[in-house]
Copies of this chain bind each other. A is one copy, B any other.
C-alpha cells in the first residue's frame, strides 16, 4: 500500500508542473496566457456541459477522464499551438515522438495497473479514432475558439489566421465529433472574419 501511494503521489506531484506550461491562447479576458492545467479543467467542464452534443456511443465519463490527462505530456514537450509562426510543428512526426517519450516517463511514474490504464486512454485520445476520442478532440478545438472570440481575436490576430485556415485547422476537427456545435461556433466567428 505504501509503495503504491508513493507512486501515485510521484505522479500527482509531477502533474502539478502542467500548471506552469503556458499556451498561446489567453484567458477569455485576455489578461494572461492560459496554462495547460486550467485548460484541462475547462475542457473537462466543456464535456460535462456539452454532453448533449456528443454522437451515439460516446461515454462522457471516459471523455472527461481523457481530457483530464490529454495534455500531461506537455510537461516535457510544451504546448505546440495550432496557429503559430511554426505551424508545421503541430502534429509532426517529431512532435509525436517527443510526446510518446513524455508519456512513457510521466505515466510510468504510476503503479503498473494505473500506468497502463491512463497510457491507453492517452493513446486513444491521440489516435482520434474512437467516438470518445473524436468528441474529446472536438472540444479541445472549440475551447480556444471561444477564448479568442471573448478576448477579441487572440492568436487569430497574432498569426493573421484567415477564415479558411480556421475552417481547415479547427473547423473540420470540431465538425468530425460535434457537427451541430461547429455550425453554431462558426456562425459566431463570422462576425470576426467577415
Q: How far is the CA of A50 from the CA of B114 in the complex (A)?
A: 10
Q: How far is the CA of A65 from the CA of B68 in the complex (A)?
A: 11
Q: Is the CB of A44 within 8 A of B20?
A: no
Q: Is the CB of A28 within 8 A of B13?
A: yes
Q: How far is the CA of A27 from the CA of B20 in the complex (A)?
A: 9
- Nearest Cβ in chain B — how far from A75, in angstroms? 12
A132 touches B (CB below 8 Å): no
One digit per residue, 1 when the CB lies within 8 angstroms of any chain B CB and 0 when it does not, for chain A 163-194 equals: 00000000000000000110010000000000
The chain B residue sitting closest to A187, CB to CB, is B2
The chain B residue sitting closest to A64, CB to CB, is B64
Q: Is the CB of B150 within 8 A of A49?
A: no
Interface size on A, residues (CB 8 A): 46
Q: Is the CB of A16 within 8 A of B8?
A: no
Q: Which one of B46, B64, B114 contacts A49 once the chains associate, using CB atoms below 8 Å?
A: B114
- Nearest Cβ in chain B — how far from A148, in angstroms? 12
One digit per residue, 1 when the CB lies within 8 angstroms of any chain B CB and 0 when it does not, for chain A 63-106 equals: 01100110000000000000000000000000000000000000
- Nearest Cβ in chain B — how far from A74, in angstroms? 13
Give A residues with C-beta under 8 Å from B: 1-2, 4-5, 8-9, 11-13, 15-17, 19-20, 27-29, 31, 34-35, 37-38, 40-42, 44-46, 48-50, 52, 61, 64-65, 68-69, 110, 114, 118, 146-147, 150, 180-181, 184
- Pick the 10 closest A-B CB pairs, nearest first: A41-B41, A37-B38, A16-B28, A61-B61, A38-B38, A19-B38, A40-B41, A5-B184, A37-B41, A8-B49
